[in-house]
Amino acid sequence: MDHFMERAVDLALANVKDGGQPFGAVLVKSDEVIAEGVNELHKVHDVSGHAEMLAIRRAQEKLKTNDLSDCVMYASGEPCSMCLTAMYFAGIDTTYYCQSVEDAVDAGLGKSAFIYEELQKPKAARFLVMKQIPLKQSQDNPMKQWERQR
């Protein structure tokens, strides 16, 4: 177990040397590395290019499944809310991390803490304004259509 965390931290350190942020992730199944990732925001300008997200994408593609419930995530930093959500959607039920969100804030990487705080607020009190626009009566309901086709 320790060697997987060491690998995640080594990936994070190498990413910093490459001009990226200090995040690395290793996804493990049956004590074998299935996929790895580092934050690639500095390379691809994609806010979803986080280490954990990339490891999940690569594992799902490699294993040809969306279900990673038999996998364990090792992350150099505590996962942000986006990565945490992706882990829930993928069925990952165990994640180990090394450095906390508070450590990230201390290093000048404070968005995760802000977003975690925002998600605890009611929708109306959040920074991001969200307003629902109902379907027009003339439109077919995509959710109902999906439900019918299942």
Catalytic residues: 52
Chain mean position to CA 60: 13
Count the residues in the chain: 150
User: Inter-axis angle of helices 2-17 and 51-63, to 10 degrees?
Assistant: 120
User: CB–CB of 95/87 below 8 Å?
Assistant: yes
N- to C-terminal Cα distance for the chain?
40
**Which residue, among 114, 113, 60, 123, has the nearest Cα to 86 in the 3D structure?**
60
